[in-house]
Amino acid sequence: MKQGSIMNGKSEKAEYGLFKVIVKIIPIQVRSAPWNCLLENCLGVMHGLLFALSVVATQYLFDAVSDAAAGRAGYRECVICLAVLAAVIFGQQIVNGVQNFHGMGILLPKSAGGLTELIHKKIERIAPVRFEDTGFLDDLNKAKEGIRAITMFCMVLFVCVSFYGVYFTAIGIYLFRLKPMLLLTLLLAFIPAMLAQTVKVRIFVNLEEESAPLRRECDYYQKAICDREYFKETRILGAFTFFYQLFEDTMKGLSGKIWRTERKAALLQLMLDFTTFAGMAASAYMLFAATMEGEITVGMFAAVFAALTQIFAIMQEVVRQHMGNMNKDIGKVVNFLRLLDMPERTGAEGEPDFTKGITAENISFRYPGRDTPSIKNVSLHIADGETIAIVGENGAGKSTLVRLLTGIYRPTEGRVLVGGLDTARYSASSVWKGMSGVFQKYQRYKMTLKENVTISDTAAEAKPDRIRAVLEEAGFERDNIGLEDMLSPEYGGVDISGGQWQRVAIARGLYRVNGFIVLDEPTSAIDPVEETKIYKQFAHLAEGKCALIVTHRIGSVKLADRIIVMDAGKIVDIGTHDELTARSGQYAKMWEAQAQWYERM
C-alpha cells in the first residue's frame, strides 16, 4: 500500500455541499434522540399553525370592529373575536416557551451525548497510525467542535421546516387567495436572501478549514504556558515569553482571518437587508392599492399588513439569525461528517494462538510525511515462551518495530502475524486479544490507584487481591496510598513520584491477562538496581509467554533468550548476550560503554 495515499487526508476529503450535508446530518441527528426530534417538530408545526391562525383571527377582529362601528354588528361579535385572538396568542406563547425549553434544555444535551458516543466509537475504529498525521489531528479537533454544531444546525432545519414551513404555506395560501401578486413579491424578496446565504456558507466553511490548525497551535501554546506538566520547565528556563509570543502571533493570525470573513459576510448581509426592505415596500404598496380599489376589506388590510410586517421580521430572523448561525456551524458540521466518513481499520475476527508465536516477514514501514522508511526489510520470529530484547541507538527503529509487531501499525510492505493472525487482515481487537504492554510514554491517569491499574478490565468489579499482587510485582511501595485513593492533586487526591508512576504503569501491563507482553523502555525513571529487580520479576512472569523488551540499559537484556541489535531501521545482529559480546560488534561496544559507566559510578 502506498503510504502517501493513506496519510493524505486532503485527497480523501469529499466535497460536502449544503444539500449533501442536510441529507447526511438529519438521520444522524434523529438517531441520537429520535423522540425528542419528533417532539421538536410537532411543537414547530403547532407553533406555525397558531401563528397563521392569529392572522386570520386578527382579520375577523378588525372586520367585527369596523362592522360594529358602522352599526352593522353588535359588540358581542367583537368580544368573541377578541377572546379567540387572545387565546391563539396565549397558545403561541406557551408553545414557543415549551419549544425553547425542549430544544436547548433537553434535545441539545441529549443529542450531544449520542453524537459524542458516535465520534468516540469512530475514533476507536480508525487506524492508530493516523494519529501520527497532523492533518488528521486537525480534523479530529475540528470534528469535536461539530458535536454541538450538528444539533444547533438541525434545530434550525427543524424550525425552518416545521415552524416556518407551516406558517409560510398557510399564509401563502391566504395571501394568494387575496391577491396572487402579493405572494410573488414575497418570494422575490426571499430568493436573493437565500442565495446570499449560500455564498456565506462557503465563506464560513473556508474559514473553518483555515482556522483549525491555528486554533490547535494556540491551544498548544496555551497549554505550555498554563499546564502543570509544563510549568516547571517553562518557568525555570524563562520560556514563558517565548511561548506567550508564539501564542500572541498565532492568535493575531487567527483573529485576522475571522475579521476578514466577518467583514465579507456583513457586506453580503447589507445587500440582503436591502432586498428584503424593497420586497416589503412593494407588498405594502400593492396592499394599499387593493384596499383603495375595494378589492379587500379594511379588516383584511389590517390583518395582512400586520402579517406582512411579521413575515418580514421572521424572514430577517430566519435569514440573518438562524441561517447566519447555520453558516457558521456548517464548517464544523462538515468536519464531523468528514471524520465519520474516514476509512476505518477493518478486518476479520479471529482468536490469536500464541503457541504460533509472533512473526515478521520482510516488513518495512514509513511514517506519514517521511521520505525514507523507518523499518527496512525486517524478518523475525518470536517463538512461544521466548523473551526477545531489542537494543539499539536512539532512532534505530526499536519503538517502531514494537508498534508493528504488536499490530498498532500495519507494515507498508511485508506482513506481521500475531498468534497466527495477519495484522493487515484481522481486526485490531482480534490482534490485541491477550496482548499487554508497558510503553515508554505511559499515561498518568487522573483516577484512583485501582482504576489506574485496571483500565483493561471492563468487568465492573476488579479483583483487589490481584491488583495488590501486580502492584507488588511491579515494586510499587504503597506507603499510605489505598486502592481507592485518587492519584491527582487537581481532583483532590495525592501525587506520586515519577518512579512510582512508572511502577503503576508496569502493574497495569501485568494486570491484563496476556499471552504476549511488551515492555518498551518502561523503567527509565527507575534506578538501575530496582530496574534489574523488576526485569527479573518480569522474566519470571513472562515464562511460557511471548515477550518483547526494549531498553537502553544493556544490563537488563541479559535475561532475554535472544537479543536483537537494531541500527537505521534494520536488524544488524541477533543472538544471546554471550554470543553478542563475543562477536565484538555494536552490542559489545554498547555493553562495554555501559559497563564502564557503571564501574565509574
| CB atoms inside a 10 Å sphere around CB 283 | 26
Q: Specify the stretch interacting with ligand ATP by CB under 6 A; choose among 49-57, 106-114, 354-362, 388-396.
A: 388-396
Of 256 and 369, nearer to ligand ATP (C-beta) is 369
Member of 66, 364, 399, 594 binding ligand ATP (CB under 6 A): 399
Of 400 and 488, nearer to ligand ATP (C-beta) is 400
Residue closest to 358 by CA, chosen among 374, 379, 338, 341: 379
Is 96 one of the binding residues for ligand ATP (CB under 6 A)?
A: no
Find all residues with CB under 8 Å of 225, minimum gap 6, and list them: 234, 240, 243, 244, 247
DSSP labels, 306-358: HHHHHHHHHHHIIIIIIHHHHHHHHHHHHHHHHHHHS-----B-----GGG-E
Residue 365 and residue 411 in contact, taking contact as beta carbons nearer than 8 Å: yes
Of 272 and 564, nearer to ligand ATP (C-beta) is 564
Positions in 534-573 near ligand ATP (CB under 6 A): none
Positions in 131-170 near ligand ATP (CB under 6 A): 132
Of 316 and 364, nearer to ligand ATP (C-beta) is 364
Of 398 and 503, nearer to ligand ATP (C-beta) is 398
Give me the least distance between CB of 255 and ligand ATP, in Å please: 31
Find all residues with CB under 8 Å of 534, minimum gap 6, and list them: 474, 475, 503, 506, 523, 526
Is 51 one of the binding residues for ligand ATP (CB under 6 A)?
A: no
Member of 5, 11, 394, 458 binding ligand ATP (CB under 6 A): 394
**Separation between Cα atoms, residue 221 and residue 215, nearest integer Å:** 10
Give me the least distance between CB of 402 and ligand ATP, in Å please: 8
**Separation between Cα atoms, residue 183 and residue 179, nearest integer Å:** 8
Q: Specify the stretch interacting with ligand ATP by CB under 6 A; choose among 109-117, 202-210, 391-399, 416-424.
A: 391-399
Residue 301 and residue 239 in contact, taking contact as beta carbons nearer than 8 Å: no
Is 261 one of the binding residues for ligand ATP (CB under 6 A)?
A: no
Q: Extract the C-alpha cell encoding 386.
A: 521466548
Is 397 one of the binding residues for ligand ATP (CB under 6 A)?
A: yes
Of 352 and 397, nearer to ligand ATP (C-beta) is 397
Q: Specify the stretch interacting with ligand ATP by CB under 6 A; choose among 394-402, 442-450, 460-468, 505-513.
A: 394-402
Of 17 and 395, nearer to ligand ATP (C-beta) is 395
Give me the least distance between CB of 401 and ligand ATP, in Å please: 7
Q: Specify the stretch interacting with ligand ATP by CB under 6 A; choose among 247-255, 293-301, 387-395, 495-503.
A: 387-395
The separation between CA 402 and the C-alpha centre of its own chain, rounded to angstroms, equals 28
Member of 336, 367, 439, 442 binding ligand ATP (CB under 6 A): 367
Give me the least distance between CB of 232 and ligand ATP, in Å please: 23
Q: Specify the stretch interacting with ligand ATP by CB under 6 A; choose among 45-53, 192-200, 207-215, 393-401.
A: 393-401
Is 29 one of the binding residues for ligand ATP (CB under 6 A)?
A: no
**Separation between Cα atoms, residue 509 and residue 322, nearest integer Å:** 51
φ, ψ for residue 321 (rounded to 5)? -80, -60
Positions in 98-137 near ligand ATP (CB under 6 A): 132
Angle (deg, nearest 10), helices 240-292 and 298-316: 160
Q: Specify the stretch interacting with ligand ATP by CB under 6 A; choose among 20-28, 158-166, 397-405, 466-474.
A: 397-405
Is 448 one of the binding residues for ligand ATP (CB under 6 A)?
A: no
Give me the least distance between CB of 398 and ligand ATP, in Å please: 4
- Cα 90 to Cα 54, 77, 83, 96, distances in angstroms: 10, 20, 10, 10
Find all residues with CB under 8 Å of 256, minimum gap 6, and list them: none
Give me the least distance between CB of 550 and ligand ATP, in Å please: 7
- Cα 74 to Cα 62, 191, 526, distances in angstroms: 13, 45, 98
Is 370 one of the binding residues for ligand ATP (CB under 6 A)?
A: yes
User: 544 in the Ramachandran plot: left (φ > 0), alpha (ψ -120 to 50) or beta?
Assistant: left
Member of 3, 59, 162, 400 binding ligand ATP (CB under 6 A): 400
Q: Which H or E element spans position 362?
A: strand 358-365
- Cα 331 to Cα 18, 108, 149, 348, 445, distances in angstroms: 10, 19, 9, 35, 33
Give me the least distance between CB of 478 and ligand ATP, in Å please: 30
Member of 9, 347, 392, 509 binding ligand ATP (CB under 6 A): 392
Residue appearing with cell numbers 442565495: 195
Is 396 one of the binding residues for ligand ATP (CB under 6 A)?
A: yes
Q: Specify the stretch interacting with ligand ATP by CB under 6 A; choose among 153-161, 314-322, 335-343, 398-406.
A: 398-406
Residue closest to 59 by CA, chosen among 88, 93, 35, 18: 88
**Residues touching ligand ATP, count (CB under 6 A):** 12
387-392 sheet: strands from edge to edge: 435-438, 516-520, 546-550, 387-392, 562-567, 570-575
**Separation between Cα atoms, residue 26 and residue 94, nearest integer Å:** 27
Is 395 one of the binding residues for ligand ATP (CB under 6 A)?
A: yes
**Separation between Cα atoms, residue 77 and residue 57, nearest integer Å:** 12
> What character string, x for contact with ligand ATP (CB under 6 A) and - otherwise, covers 190-209?
--------------------
Q: Specify the stretch interacting with ligand ATP by CB under 6 A; choose among 173-181, 212-220, 390-398, 534-542.
A: 390-398
**Separation between Cα atoms, residue 168 and residue 312, nearest integer Å:** 11
Give me the least distance between CB of 158 and ligand ATP, in Å please: 44
Give me the least distance between CB of 445 and ligand ATP, in Å please: 23
Interacting residues with ligand ATP (CB under 6 A)? 132, 367, 370, 374, 392, 394-400
